[in-house]
Amino acid sequence: MNHLAVIQVIIPLLSAPLCLLLRWRTGAWLIALVATWTTFGVSIVLFRTVTLHGAITYDMGGWPAPWGINYHIDSLSALVALIVCGIAALTLAYAHKSAKHEVRPESLRAFYALLLICQAGLLGIALTGDAFNMYVFLEISSLSAYALIGLGQRRRALRAAFQYLIMGTIGATFILIGIGLLYSLTGTLNIQDLAARVVLIPESAYGHRTLITAFAFLTVGFSLKLALFPLHLWLPNAYTYAPSVVTIFLAATATKVAVYMLLRFSFCILGKRFVFEQLTLGNILLIPSLAAILIASLVAIFQYDIKRMLAYSSIGQIGYMTLGISLNSHAGLSAGILHMFNHALMKGALFMVMGAVAYRTGSVYLSDFRGLGRRMPWTMAAFVIGGMSLMGIPLTAGFISKWLLVEATLEVGWWPVTGVVLVGSLLAVIYIWRIIETAYFNPRHEIEHGTDEAPLSLMLPMWTLIGANIYFGINTTIPLQMAKRAATMLISGGTL
Amino acid sequence: MNSMVLMQLCILVPLVGALLIGLSSRAPNIREGVTLMSAALLFAVVCGLYLNPDALTAGALVLAEPIAGIAIKLELEPLGLLFAGIASLLWLITSLYTIGYMRANNEQHQTRLYVCFAIALASTMGIALAGNLFTLFIFYETLTLSTYPLVAHNEDEDAVIGGRYYLGILVSTSIGLLLPAIIWVWYAGSSIDFVPGGVLPLNMPPASVWVLLFLFAFGIGKAALMPIHRWLPEAMVAPTPVSALLHAVAVVKAGVFCLLKVVVYIFGSEILLQSGANILLIALASVTIVAASLIALRQDNLKRRLAYSTVSQLSYITLAGAILTPVSTTAAMLHMAAHAFGKITLFFGAGAIYTAAHKTRVSELNGIGKRMPWTMGAFAIATLSMIGVPPAGGFISKWYLFQGIWTSGYGMLLLVLLLSTLLNCAYFIPIVHAAFFRPETYTPEYTPAQTHGEAPWTMVLALCITATLSIVLFCCPDIVVQLARLLHGGG
């Protein structure tokens, strides 16, 4: 039996206490680094296996599925796991210098331990085939995320963490209630088993109402977790005040995993027919998605703290993902799923740039960017390319997902929605351009000469992600194929 | 050499040039030597393509395929060859001019300027050789982005605001209108390749054809059809060599070139005539021709006047393309060349005047012809070309355009041409007249003690060459006419 499925979650989970036990701070980082790169390797192997041989099912302790907990890795889980592990590996490579700079030395070991626990939680969500187990992993990842955000330098980080704690707990509770209702209705928690039993509930039956209630709780819960537009209030503060490393990791992975949960529950448990045709999730998601794209992007234009600006931009970008889902078509779903992957690449890269700027200047207000084009040429070049990906300029990954999304909206004939997608791109041009203009065309305020580039250990992961942005803008075969397969899998109800 | 290799070289030569220029930023002589070398090499490569007998029939070269069916590919056709030829030839001459200008005016950030210039030329070559709309769009965007640092070169408030206009208008029209138009073509015709005769299905409803053409006409903001022309005068804050090459040749010609390509290879004449949508382009172009000329009359800043004249002249090309007869397409191609040679001379002249005399306004030019006879002589020849009088290239293109209008049945357009020719006279002749026949006027800032002669010799040489090219085009327009014939042979 292939134990890789479970090993992927166990490695970060077991390495976390090791980080705490060790007295040596660099040692804690080394353990975390080795752990994340090993899981990254495992996730690549699993991704390849799933690509070549289809879904993998792993029964915990050998107990068959409805009785024991099983792990089920299909194309969507493999893709999400790859995103989480890839970003974690690069973030950890980046973390050493940045965290030393931004996190109090006495909390450093706890910091790495929490990062690993958070990664284990996110991976568990992606890989598990059990609804309740998924909730447990969600709590693991969320609790560690609250603590991580609270480790930020400024006192406001605590408030941001508390805000996220409240909102996140409400979301998680809603999800728990939803799962509880499903359990009371069917008596099972295994996802495939749930799907098989939910289908059998006739529309006229009394239980159908319970199902609708469960759906409502679940949708609101996930929307809170993935920061869908009116429920996004926790996100800007959390991303702004968290240490740079945490922002990179959470921005690139946490919301994607929440989108994954929404997809998993909607398509693989409740079923496309129930969710989209009877309860019209498409229409429910459409307006918030469009509002997110327009309003969050507009708000981003007026931010002076650039981390905050990117946080608002993230809310807008999440709108693109949920818009893809709301189109309720194969093209729309694959565009949304591909955008999960591409957005992780671009936001990861852009937040790494923020970390590098914060490393040199101490903060990332717009005024800190004056003259940076000459002072940190490589970092700002990375920002320009990452920003172009965010705008959707051709030859970057962002363009591909925009193109597919526009094509999907044209396919269903929603012209005004096409317009909104394009206006969203234009707003991105404006908010990115403010910084490029400041960095390159505003003289620096102090009289300094020469370059003051970020250290190599920050540069390498940043440019790896930038390279990925360009590579996946030219050769999209791997993620696009996987996204399409995942979309086919979801539409068929998770049987592939 | 194989034409596939030559096509790749067209893009690689300026890119490698840009890299080497960037590396040699400490040694200005080497840097400028590299610029000249790569420009000369690029021109040689394009000549090689022209002389290669089977280059036009060699087919497409696929570089990458990000989405199935949507490839990045290069393919040579007559229109693109002409555009590539003009752009590469004028890059060589402009490099000569730029070196003189930048040194004489002690401009800052010269390396950035040369690097961006080379990247812009690589993008222009990419546009000229694009084998489908997707490739065209990619290089269209890179051209916009690579020319932004050139427009905002001076880094003062005017430059940054001018740059914002430039970037804002061009990027928003291309993403907001051109991109959906391309995706629509992909969706409706299931191909975005350039195919002679068009790729759109003939049964497409006329209303859709109108809307699609509208999206293309305004999406290609670089063609500067009114009211999407504002970026062009705003971009005049750039140093003059930049205005000369980019805003008289590369960028604006890329605009009309894209529009012509879309008309010829995406729509095709059949579907346009059938739905009558080409009336839209004809009307927009006519309005722009007259309105821009009227605005040009009122401009006192020499470069702004030239900018509005460019807006007007570009619409000649659009108009000629939209009439959809073989003769008028020939006229469009001829005018691309004639306007390029003429307008670059005028901009060179404006830059030479600024360098030698620090004058930027038309009203200050009295008597300058005696101090700068070569510059103003070339300026006068270019003016003739703009108006369309022999012995300059503009005459030939206007001749073909009249012929095209005559045979097509849009007789009213003759009036538009007549009116605009009169307006051209009205805003160009006074400049030449004042320069040669009025006595110099002195102001407190400008006294007889401040005498000046010609600008540095490289600049004068460059503008004399371009003026000569205008005359050469009048004497032997055959190259262009033959290319135009090939275009019809293919279509």
Kindly list the residues from chain B whose CB atom is less than 8 angstroms away from the CB atom of residue A426: 171-172, 175-176
**What pLDDT was estimated at residue B491?**
39
Q: Does B171 touch chain A (CB under 8 A)?
A: yes
Candidates A422, A442, A478, partner chain B, best to mutate (most B CBs within 10 A)? A422
Q: Do B66 and A475 touch (CB under 8 A)?
A: yes
Candidates B175, B177, B182, B185, partner chain A, best to mutate (most A CBs within 10 A)? B175
Are residues B309 and B204 part of one domain?
no
CA–CA distance, A194 with A182 (Å, rounded to integer) = 8
Are residues B486 and B342 part of one domain?
yes
Q: Does B419 touch chain A (CB under 8 A)?
A: no
Are residues B271 and B296 part of one domain?
no
Q: Do B138 and A394 touch (CB under 8 A)?
A: yes
Span B385-397, pLDDT tens digits:
888 888 888 888 8
**What pLDDT was estimated at residue A56?**
86
φ, ψ of residue B59 in degrees (nearest 5): 90, -170
Of B137, B152, B183, the CB nearest to A406: B183
Q: Do A407 and B72 touch (CB under 8 A)?
A: no
CA–CA distance, B151 with B237 (Å, rounded to integer) = 7
What is the nearest CA distance from A445 to chain B, expressed in angstroms? 15
Of A433, A437, A476, the CB nearest to B66: A476
pLDDT tier at B490, thresholds 50, 70, 90: very low
Residue B22 pLDDT greater than 60, yes or no: yes
CA B14 to mean position of chain CA atoms:
18
Residue of B nearest to A371 (CA): B155
**What pLDDT was estimated at residue A450?**
60
Are residues B367 and B271 part of one domain?
no
Domain boundary residue among B230, B257, B276?
B276
Domain total in chain B:
2
Q: Measuring CA to CA, how many Å separate A75 from each of A54, A320, A342, A495?
A: 7, 21, 16, 11
Query: What are the residue boundaries of the structural domains of chain A, listed by start?
Result: 283-496
Kindly list the residues from chain B whose CB atom is less than 8 angstroms away from the CB atom of residue A407: 183, 186-187
Those residues whose C-beta lies under 8 Å from the C-beta of residue A431, and which sit 6 or more positions away, are A297, A300, A301, A303, A309, A313
**What pLDDT was estimated at residue B171?**
87
Q: Do B66 and A440 touch (CB under 8 A)?
A: no
Q: Do B145 and A388 touch (CB under 8 A)?
A: yes
What is the nearest CA distance from A438 to chain B, expressed in angstroms? 10
pLDDT in tens, chain A (496 residues): 478 888 889 999 999 998 888 888 888 899 999 999 999 999 999 999 888 888 888 888 888 877 888 888 889 999 999 999 999 999 999 998 888 888 888 888 899 999 999 999 999 999 998 999 999 999 999 999 999 999 988 888 999 999 999 999 999 999 999 999 999 988 888 888 888 888 888 877 777 888 889 999 999 999 999 999 888 889 999 999 999 999 999 999 999 999 999 999 988 888 888 888 888 888 889 999 999 999 999 999 999 999 999 999 999 999 999 999 998 889 999 999 999 999 999 999 999 999 999 888 888 888 888 888 888 888 999 999 999 999 888 889 999 998 899 889 988 888 889 889 988 988 998 899 889 888 887 766 555 556 678 888 899 999 999 999 999 988 888 889 889 999 998 888 766 5
Q: Do A392 and B175 touch (CB under 8 A)?
A: yes
Alpha carbon dihedral B141, B142, B143, B149, in 10-degree steps, equals 110
Residue of A nearest to B139 (CA): A394
Instruction: Cis check for the bond before A12: say yes or no (omega within 30 of 0).
Output: no
Are residues B50 and B35 part of one domain?
yes
- What type of residue sits at position B136? L
Are residues B380 and B290 part of one domain?
yes
Residue of A nearest to B153 (CA): A441
Q: What is the pTM of this model?
A: 0.86
Are residues B215 and B320 part of one domain?
no
**What pLDDT was estimated at residue B30?**
86
Q: Do B176 and A423 touch (CB under 8 A)?
A: yes
Mean pLDDT lowest for which of A295-304, B401-410, B439-448? Answer: B439-448
Are residues B161 and B254 part of one domain?
yes
Q: Please count the residue pairs, one from chain A and one from chain B, whose beta carbons lie less than 8 angstroms apart.
A: 65
Q: Does B415 touch chain A (CB under 8 A)?
A: no
CA–CA distance, A407 with A463 (Å, rounded to integer) = 30
What is the nearest CA distance from B49 to chain A, expressed in angstroms? 27
Of A391, A411, A474, the CB nearest to B64: A474
Give the mean model confidence (pLDDT) for residues B84-94.
Answer: 89
Q: Does B51 touch chain A (CB under 8 A)?
A: no
Computed over every residue of chain B, the mean pLDDT equals: 85
What is the nearest CA distance from A218 to chain B, expressed in angstroms? 35
Q: Which residue has the tokens 């680094």?
A: A33
Are residues B169 and B135 part of one domain?
yes
Q: Does B159 touch chain A (CB under 8 A)?
A: yes
Q: Do B172 and A426 touch (CB under 8 A)?
A: yes
What is the nearest CA distance from A52 to chain B, expressed in angstroms? 20
**What pLDDT was estimated at residue A289?**
93
Domain boundary residue among B251, B276, B301?
B276
Are residues B269 and B402 part of one domain?
no
Residue of B nearest to A405 (CA): B183
Span B29-50, pLDDT tens digits:
888 888 888 999 999 988 888 8
What is the nearest CA distance from B329 to chain A, expressed in angstroms? 31
Are residues B235 and B297 part of one domain?
no
SS3 of residue B138 by DSSP: helix
DSSP assignment letter at B62: E
What is the nearest CA distance from A443 to chain B, expressed in angstroms? 9
**What pLDDT was estimated at residue A291?**
93
**What pLDDT was estimated at residue A245?**
93
Span B130-150, pLDDT tens digits:
888 889 998 999 999 888 888
Of A400, A403, A426, the CB nearest to B183: A403
What is the nearest CA distance from A407 to chain B, expressed in angstroms? 7
Q: Do B183 and A411 touch (CB under 8 A)?
A: no
What is the nearest CA distance from B417 to chain A, expressed in angstroms? 37
Residue of A nearest to B190 (CA): A407
Angle CA B483–B485–B490, to nearest 5: 95
Residue B92, domain extent: 1-276
Q: Do B64 and A475 touch (CB under 8 A)?
A: yes
Contact A9, A89 (CB under 8 A): no
Domain boundary residue among B276, B298, B321?
B276
Q: Do A400 and B149 touch (CB under 8 A)?
A: no
**What pLDDT was estimated at residue A256?**
92
Of A392, A404, A441, the CB nearest to B155: A441
